[in-house]
Amino acid sequence: GEDVEQSLFLSVREGDSSVINCTYTDSSSTYLYWYKQEPGAGLQLLTYIFSNMDMKQDQRLTVLLNKKDKHLSLRIADTQTGDSAIYSCPRDNYGQNFVFGPGTRLSVLP
């Protein structure tokens, strides 16, 4: 997990925006992904971005990629209690497997 760095925890109030950040030591991935993991459930793909893009918007989700700084962020607008989960941003290890960071646990307070 050293290749992918994330803060472990984030708390926001319902209705606010959440920003979850990832930093990579290796920027070789062609695609970068955001996954959401709710308690007792597997990982669900939220969105992905192609490495030659710097932004992608998908409804309440905005992904920003700063390739120079090897930094990826996920912004969730109007955060809801149902958004409470662990968010992961794995990188693709040269087409072999995903390398995950520790995940960021997002808590949404009412």
Partner 1 sequence: KAGVTQTPRYLIKTRGQQVTLSCSPISGHRSVSWYQQTPGQGLQFLFEYFSETQRNKGNFPGRFSGRQFSNSRSEMNVSTLELGDSALYLCASSLAGTGRLGEQFFGPGTRLTVL
- Interface residues with partner 1 (CB under 8 A)? 1, 4, 8, 30-31, 33, 35, 40-45, 48, 88, 90, 92-93, 95-103
State the nearest-atom distance from the C-beta of 70 to partner 1, in Å: 17
C-beta separation of 60 from 34 below 8 A: no
Structure tokens of 58? 């998908």
Task: Name the burial class of residue 24, with classes exposed (0-12), middle (13-18) and buried (19+) by CB atoms within 10 angstroms of its CB.
Answer: buried
**Nearest by Cα to 22 from 78, 61, 63, 56:** 63
State the nearest-atom distance from the C-beta of 31 to partner 1, in Å: 6
Q: Which is nearer to partner 1, 14 or 21 (CB)?
A: 21
Q: Which is nearer to partner 1, 17 or 107 (CB)?
A: 107
State the nearest-atom distance from the C-beta of 58 to partner 1, in Å: 14
DSSP β-bridge partners for residue 62: 57, 75
Q: Which is nearer to partner 1, 79 or 87 (CB)?
A: 87
